[in-house]
Amino acid sequence: MTAWNHDFIQQLSSLPMGQLDLHFGLSTMPTWPNAMGLNALKNSLPIANSSIPEFVCQSDIAESALYYEQVIQQHNIIPTRPNSWHDLFNGLIWLQFPQTKRLLNQQHVEDIQQFGLSPRTHRRNNLTHFDECGVIITYRSEDTFAKLIAGLQQHQWHKVLVENRQYWGNELNCFMFGHANLEMLLQPFIGLTGKFLALEVDSHFATMPYAEQLTLLDKILFDSIQSRDLFSINKPLSPLPLLGIPNVCSANQDPAFYANTDYFRPKPLSKLLLK
């Protein structure tokens, strides 16, 4: 009988899965953690977890006219389907970025209250894109690395991901925020693309323990979204071919991997001319 976490274990060499396993130990769990397991993980966190709602099995929640985000906000619970990678990864993001996830939920509900459920507002579309497919790229606060981030935004894939590969894991770091990204990375495929947001950090960030990096990132991300009303602006996120990120996919160790322009697409000329 195949273990529940077989696909996850098969991808442990991938940076995002390795980070999750180091932090939560999914590879050693005998069965699906589900809502009960997520609550146990929450209660074991060394940081204050009062901002994280209770995880509740979807089958234990009475039918309601409330939308998913409203259920979280009004009842302080996160409906969680059993044996669902999508919902498990969503829960693990809550455990890593509780302030930011709470803020995203708050902004969803604000827009629902003001504009109704349908049509979805521009801000809610951006919130959903980040929640499902978001990638956080941190860069050290120096002009060299700010230029590399600009290069990513201009689709200079080879320059940033191959020619400057030595900076990844040091001055440049990747954190998966989108839980749909994580689910798809269980069985990665060419074409898998996320939406990245770049955050500036100091020179000490790369040497911090992973748990401390998460705590700091959650604060920086929360402040950035709130102070700028980030997801109300036009196109706050930029596309990023996930399998091109160093240490996410073993195949990308070969520079020839990046020659696939159907995946690593150049920036359209019209958009380059607008810069």
Q: What is the tens place of the pLDDT at every residue in 26-51?
A: 999 999 999 999 999 999 887 656 67
- The pLDDT tens digits for 118-174 are 999 999 999 999 999 999 999 999 999 999 999 999 999 999 999 999 999 999 999
Q: Are strands 77-80 and 54-57 parallel, antiparallel or unpaired?
A: parallel
- The pLDDT tens digits for 167-215 are 999 999 999 999 999 999 999 999 999 999 999 999 999 999 999 999 9
Tell me if 206 sits within 8 A of 140, measured CB to CB: yes
Tell me if 49 sits within 8 A of 99, measured CB to CB: no
Q: Which residues contact 23 (CB under 8 A, 6 or more apart)?
A: 96, 210, 211, 214
Q: Which residues contact 131 (CB under 8 A, 6 or more apart)?
A: 101, 104, 177, 178, 179
How far is the CA of 48 from the CAs of 78, 96, 106, 201, 264, in angstroms?
18, 12, 20, 23, 41
Whether the predicted pLDDT of 274 surpasses 60: no
Whether the predicted pLDDT of 13 surpasses 70: yes
Cα gap 97→95, rounded to integer Å: 6
Q: Find the farthest-apart pair of alpha carbons in the chain and give their distance in angstroms, rounded.
A: 56
Average pLDDT over residues 106-122: 95
Average pLDDT over residues 224-242: 96
- The pLDDT tens digits for 57-74 are 999 998 888 999 999 999
The residue extents of the domains of the chain are: 6-98, 125-274
Of 21, 177, 25, the residue nearest 94 (C-alpha)? 177
Cα gap 246→165, rounded to integer Å: 7
Provide the 10 A C-beta neighbour count for residue 257: 18
User: What local confidence, expressed as pLDDT, does residue 62 receive?
Assistant: 85
User: What local confidence, expressed as pLDDT, does residue 248 receive?
Assistant: 96
User: What local confidence, expressed as pLDDT, does residue 49 receive?
Assistant: 67
